[in-house]
Chain A
């Protein structure tokens, strides 16, 4: 029996109430777990034409063989289903950190597949091998915080709960699933809602086997930890420090005076040199990142995050001013999980008001269970306000009843109004924003055009947000957005670009990884496309899906650069393979795993083709927005200071990207030869039977 895996995948049919176990490796070995397993389930079981809220849709919460082990960082779980925010309801993967995924493993399950629809609000209780569908009548209508507390009061304070809030219940397309207070999986909250599934509470007392001898395993882990940097794998401090040769714009914000100011007592994280592994969790003072130095230091209690990760990235704060708005003074989240809060306002709020709006946005959204689509909703709102689109489209009475005075005052009471209006789909406004940015394009033609043409909207295609794109590595960042069906959320490339090392070193390391130093540009200093960049983009694409399958956190891996001067700042590109082999006992090289990753990428592509019923991905799906070529107006491509792209160059980029993936260049789709080589002949056959296979 392989280590890491529990060997059993749980299937719950909410229509029939049947709970069954399947053999994970017998069915899903080629797809590793997590996202890969989920894609395989969708491919095998969900017919084209199925909609996201149909009972026949599957929702998979998938973890991989490394999840729950000490392989850093194995806390995340992937959620795979048809995506309600997608205007075509295409298959897409969401993810959340926290501790829920590992708890599922300790309960003895590699993943959970949910199908059907319960005839009344329900929740699933998983206590080791005892799995029950329970009545959620008392939970339905509650926010996520209270739901979690109620379930823990029922099955134990040490259980972990994945739940939806009122947004998911109300079929708000951008509803999310959350666990452990601040960890949010976008996209699929309303899929749970459509199945009458309120929550999944898990308590696991079991064990995961590590195949490698325990002493050798300890040595492997301890050899790896010094290669980690800070959040987003920055490998130099953000300020000049005596232990470091370099410093740069990274999240290694630990320094003298960087207090966790609301800790009891307040705690100065101080200097955290790379070789002190008992301080690696202090390197990223995320409060400084999320709120600036002064406010971050003043209001942060501590930094937190996911199971098993020694780098922390969720800012936990204490702001007594929050209580007057009816929310807890204690708030926690990270990155856009807080910055969607002020995104509704124009001009952009500043100072302590900015922080307050961030905190209240998170306090509301994390309880209602709503995801801003990486801030896209707020950007859409500001744009519509500026262009008079609310006056145009909302009924006059509704428009007049919106508390615009509160908006102008940038009051948290407006935030309370807007999050509630969306969660409960109040009026045309609530319905439009509940359906989210992609569906906005179907509703308001101006928004479709604006998403495509206006840089300020930061939308890549179909209305989904860019995350991260051309500002991180030019063509590389752009290419990474093409194949996704939700905002890309890929940090493989942006982490390397943002490692903080001098460009000369990045190019050196890039040459080793991608074949040529030309693969790596400085950010916002884009040079013409080349094969090295294509390799960079292909590997970034593969590693994202691979990490979502293993699972490992794409914000801390791959370790392509490290803070270790003695290693000339090289990381260990073999790390994933080493951990996989050590844990499972199934020996794989880096090349083997990359091939598995490519298989998963190709299957996801096939899924997109099947559900879009489209053979020409290149022109119909892999769209580059107009603004990528027109912004900034007065600059030319390939000059420094911006990321404006050149059309012909971007077409060449697509050519090289598809070619290196092994896809047909004309359509950007997997060929039969490639699919058969990846052991997916049946996928090729099915695509062909639907006239979707080009080559």
Chain B
């Protein structure tokens, strides 16, 4: 097993750059195939690696790209919602669509509670706010809430993607996302979320006013109001135990 004894930030960074997939990561850390080994570069920590069966890799690299909506240009046609499911699943289902227009369309993100003339949406000031997945940086709420590690960062974009083989349909991710961006495919009982169409986002192509743009990723999670405060989600054990390996 390769050992890295230096506790060097630079080396950590260079390794992490290479570790664009979990498989790569496991190779470097010397995983024997079974079990999950936390990222440890400090000699002491190697001892805790023995108990590492219950650790999960939670750190993921940032995405390279993301989809951003400009509410000035959104005209409420919902061809983005249509493209999202028609071109991915072959059916039209706005409730499954991973870009969200309809829920803000009539009364804006705040809904009817503000009094409709004072709000946004078509009954308010006409602004239609598009909700898109922020492809959150680590720690990724939906990913870390998943008891099965079913949400993964997938190259080349590192979009956070539901691995349907691992998803058991428990819906923990639905409650964990502060932006309400995870959806659920009831037909196959699996969670879903924006995967950037593997680098060729269909919603962006479908938008007739260029209101959705495919842009280099930036952390926008603190700028955009959360849709709701997630319920206090108990992190799965294999997530909890791995946090302390980096965050002492």
Q: Does A106 contact B (CB under 8 A)?
A: yes
- Knowing A206-B93, A208-B92, the reply to whether A99 touches B112 (Cβ < 8 A) is no
- Knowing A69-B86, A69-B92, A152-B106, the reply to whether A304 touches B122 (Cβ < 8 A) is yes
Q: Does A114 contact B (CB under 8 A)?
A: no
Interface stretch (choices B25-33, B94-102, B157-165, B216-224) = B94-102
The answer to whether B208 touches A277, judged by C-beta atoms less than 8 angstroms apart, is yes
Chain A residue numbers with a CB within 8 Å of B88 are 214
Chain A residue numbers with a CB within 8 Å of B190 are none
User: How long is the Cα–Cα vector from A70 to B92 in the complex, in angstroms?
Assistant: 7
User: How long is the Cα–Cα vector from A311 to B107 in the complex, in angstroms?
Assistant: 22
- Knowing A158-B103, A303-B75, the reply to whether A330 touches B90 (Cβ < 8 A) is no
* Closest beta carbon of chain A to B84's beta carbon, Å: 10
Write the chain B residue with the least CB distance to A128. Answer: B95
Interface stretch (choices B40-48, B50-58, B124-132, B135-143) = B124-132
Query: Of B72, B77, B127, which is within 8 A of A310 by CB?
Result: B77
Q: Please classify how large the interface on chain B is, using the bins under 10, 10 to 19, 20 to 34, 35 or more.
A: 35 or more
The answer to whether B126 touches A332, judged by C-beta atoms less than 8 angstroms apart, is yes
User: How long is the Cα–Cα vector from A279 to B209 in the complex, in angstroms?
Assistant: 5
User: How long is the Cα–Cα vector from A650 to B73 in the complex, in angstroms?
Assistant: 48
The answer to whether B86 touches A330, judged by C-beta atoms less than 8 angstroms apart, is no
- Knowing A99-B105, A207-B92, the reply to whether A70 touches B75 (Cβ < 8 A) is no
User: How long is the Cα–Cα vector from A260 to B113 in the complex, in angstroms?
Assistant: 28
Q: Does B2 contact A (CB under 8 A)?
A: no
Chain B residue numbers with a CB within 8 Å of A152 are 106-107, 111-112
Q: Does A145 contact B (CB under 8 A)?
A: yes
The answer to whether B79 touches A106, judged by C-beta atoms less than 8 angstroms apart, is no
User: How long is the Cα–Cα vector from A278 to B213 in the complex, in angstroms?
Assistant: 10
Query: Of B77, B87, B102, B187, which is within 8 A of A218 by CB?
Result: B87
User: How long is the Cα–Cα vector from A282 to B75 in the complex, in angstroms?
Assistant: 9
* Closest beta carbon of chain A to B125's beta carbon, Å: 5
User: How long is the Cα–Cα vector from A233 to B187 in the complex, in angstroms?
Assistant: 38
The answer to whether A330 touches B117, judged by C-beta atoms less than 8 angstroms apart, is yes
The answer to whether A210 touches B75, judged by C-beta atoms less than 8 angstroms apart, is no
Q: Does A295 contact B (CB under 8 A)?
A: no
Q: Does B89 contact A (CB under 8 A)?
A: yes
Query: Of A218, A265, A309, which is within 8 A of B72 by CB?
Result: A265
Q: Does B91 contact A (CB under 8 A)?
A: yes
Write the chain B residue with the least CB distance to A160. Answer: B106
The answer to whether B83 touches A70, judged by C-beta atoms less than 8 angstroms apart, is yes
* Closest beta carbon of chain B to A103's beta carbon, Å: 9
- Knowing A181-B123, A214-B88, the reply to whether A307 touches B78 (Cβ < 8 A) is yes
Q: Does A205 contact B (CB under 8 A)?
A: yes
Q: Does A280 contact B (CB under 8 A)?
A: yes
* Closest beta carbon of chain B to A284's beta carbon, Å: 11
User: How long is the Cα–Cα vector from A480 to B184 in the complex, in angstroms?
Assistant: 48
Write the chain A residue with the least CB distance to B184. Answer: A205
* Closest beta carbon of chain A to B90's beta carbon, Å: 4
The answer to whether B77 touches A312, judged by C-beta atoms less than 8 angstroms apart, is yes
User: How long is the Cα–Cα vector from A382 to B47 in the complex, in angstroms?
Assistant: 93
Chain A residue numbers with a CB within 8 Å of B102 are 99, 158
Most A C-beta atoms less than 10 A away, residue of B76, B78, B104: B76
The answer to whether B77 touches A145, judged by C-beta atoms less than 8 angstroms apart, is no
* Closest beta carbon of chain B to A128's beta carbon, Å: 10
Q: Does B35 contact A (CB under 8 A)?
A: no
* Closest beta carbon of chain B to A91's beta carbon, Å: 31
User: How long is the Cα–Cα vector from A316 to B202 in the complex, in angstroms?
Assistant: 27
Chain A residue numbers with a CB within 8 Å of B124 are 330
User: How long is the Cα–Cα vector from A213 to B116 in the complex, in angstroms?
Assistant: 42
User: Which B residues are closer than 8 A to A by beta carbons?
Assistant: 72-79, 82-83, 85-96, 102-107, 111-113, 116-117, 122-127, 186-187, 202, 205, 207-210
Instruction: Report, nearest first, the 9 A-B pairs whose CB atoms are least far apart.
Output: A281-B208, A214-B90, A207-B93, A310-B208, A205-B95, A316-B126, A70-B82, A281-B209, A157-B111
A149-B112, A210-B86, A311-B208 known, 10 other contacts, Cβ within 8 Å: A148-B106, A206-B93, A214-B89, A218-B202, A260-B72, A278-B205, A278-B210, A305-B75, A308-B78, A308-B79
